[in-house]
Amino acid sequence: MSSDRITPRTLKGFRDFLPAAMMQREQIIDTAKQVYRSFGYAPIDTPALEYLEILTGKGSDETDRQMYRFEDAGGRQVGMRFDLTVPLARYCAQHINELGTPFKRYHIAPVWRGENTHRGRYREFMQCDFDTIGSQSLVTDIEVAVVIHELLNQIGISDFTLRINNRQVLNGLLEQLGLRDQATPILRALDKLAKTDAETVMEEMTRQSTATTEQAAKILSLVQVTGTNGEILDQLEKLADGHEATLEGIEALRHVIEGTQAAGVAQDALVLDVSIARGLDYYTGTIYETFLNALPQIGSVCSGGRYDNLTGVYTKQELPGVGASLGLDRLLAAMEELGLLQGHRTPAKLLVTFFDRDRLSDYLKICTALRRRGLAVELFPEPKKLGQQLKYANRQGFEYALIAGTQEFEGQRCQIKDLSTGESHNVDLDEQCEQLANWLQSHSPTPASEHAG
């Protein structure tokens, strides 16, 4: 055998997840699934690989450059999905006769982009998407905002701002300036306004499009109108100067804002921001970006929008869509920076210590009885010193440890040690562990989102 060893390492932009990090991810994913299902979205999955022609030219020049692509063993040109929306468009065009419309789906899966890595941005990352396909009703646009609001609240985050805009408003303003055919480079430049200063954005507009300095300055002044949502809408109507598409976008925004408020979204949580552009080319209507108020510089943690023409390259059937995606990795990076994550390494609440070697069958019976009552329980595998077992319990983040030896078993009692306070409690240990289970379930319950914030 060769003495040369391969250095264990991961590719740049890719990560291993230790149990504590993976638990946090799974808890947010479980919450997302619960919220999506509560609105009627059904789960789907698609392959990580698609024919290259399915993916190219659907997002932006940037996503085309960042796409992982290669020739497979069969000589086919393939690409790894860079988001979950383009595969959804292919999926619906292929299966819509079986699915029917409107079709509501959620999809939680990894995607890949070969981009520069920085805080909260990686080359492999998880998206948690939800979309409605086959309806142009503004009810579906309203629901996207409501789902985002509910999702973040259920995760345990309440201090955020959901910013919305409409591509028709932006495109209409550009058409009035004679720059409609320059929408793609201009909107991509605008999309960077939240991350850089206006001067840099204006410089990129003039460099990447035919817009003059004066036109770029006017665009920036138009998209930076301020006031309440109602005041901004009124200002936009004046600036529209009767332009039909712009007025349609403004009216759509008005309905979405009114609808979200009727659905219980707080007025100060939903903000009309005309500068929100979304860099992907396929958006056609309402667009959404969500920022954490305590850490806006990390970028949007939940984004999306309406795309009415994306399936047109796959089918003649009109299949408009609208939806959004929770950026799991970026959200977790933000929550870690804000100190909202806990370091639990185990999903189990209780460690049953192995104290008496001759009582293994009794310990096993206790664990089985408690698991059947819905409790997560781990049995320490060896009868080591109690101090070593409790050290393990504290390191892994258990809430309680059960301690029982021959004397306790004979008296049908056990000791429950609260590992956060150090206090011990004597609890009856009957044959089915009923009292023990009831005691554990009534003390320090751990809701699904607690570890996430």
User: Do both 325 and 370 map to the same domain?
Assistant: no
User: Do both 368 and 312 map to the same domain?
Assistant: no
User: Do both 111 and 163 map to the same domain?
Assistant: yes
Is residue 385 a part of any domain in this protein?
A: yes
Residue that terminates a domain, selected from 337, 368, 389: 337
* 307 close to 322: Cβ distance less than 8 angstroms: yes
User: Do both 83 and 201 map to the same domain?
Assistant: yes
Could you tell me the sign of the dihedral formed by the alpha carbons of 95, 50, 110, 297, in that order?
negative
User: Do both 223 and 246 map to the same domain?
Assistant: yes
- At residue 325, the pLDDT reads 96
- Please report how the helices 244-262 and 138-155 are oriented relative to each other, as an axis angle in degrees rounded to 10: 40
Query: 51-88 pLDDT, tens per residue?
Result: 999 999 887 888 899 999 999 999 999 999 999 999 99
Residue that terminates a domain, selected from 304, 337, 370: 337
Q: Residue 43 has which token pair?
A: 């789960």
User: Do both 292 and 390 map to the same domain?
Assistant: no
CATH of the domain at 396: 3.40.50.800
CA dihedral 246, 247, 249, 253 (to 10 degrees): 140
Alpha carbon distance 224, 62 (integer Å): 26
Residue that terminates a domain, selected from 302, 337, 372: 337
Alpha carbon distance 113, 14 (integer Å): 11
Nearest CA-CA partner of 133 in 60, 58, 55, 41: 41
The phi, psi pair for 195, rounded to 5°, reads -105, -15
SS3 state at 61:
helix
In the chain, which residues have pLDDT < 70? 1-3, 119-120, 279-280, 343, 431, 444-453
Burial state string for 344-357 with b = 16 or more CB within 10 A and e = fewer than 16: bebebbbbbbbbbe
Is residue 183 a part of any domain in this protein?
A: yes
Is residue 7 a part of any domain in this protein?
A: no
Burial of 211 (0-12, 13-18, 19+ CB in 10 A): buried
Q: Residue 12 has which token pair?
A: 């740049």
Burial state string for 401-425 with b = 16 or more CB within 10 A and e = fewer than 16: bbbbeeebbeeeebbbbebeeeeee
Beta-carbon contacts of 387 under 8 Å, excluding residues fewer than 6 positions away, are none
User: Do both 364 and 281 map to the same domain?
Assistant: no
CATH of the domain at 123: 3.30.930.10
User: Do both 121 and 257 map to the same domain?
Assistant: yes
User: Do both 232 and 322 map to the same domain?
Assistant: yes
User: Do both 330 and 361 map to the same domain?
Assistant: no
* 251 close to 234: Cβ distance less than 8 angstroms: no
Is residue 9 a part of any domain in this protein?
A: no
For residue 102, give its domain range: 19-337
Domain count, the chain: 2
Is residue 12 a part of any domain in this protein?
A: no
User: Do both 294 and 315 map to the same domain?
Assistant: yes
Query: 152-182 pLDDT, tens per residue?
Result: 999 999 999 999 999 999 888 888 888 888 8
- At residue 444, the pLDDT reads 57
Q: Residue 319 has which token pair?
A: 């299949």
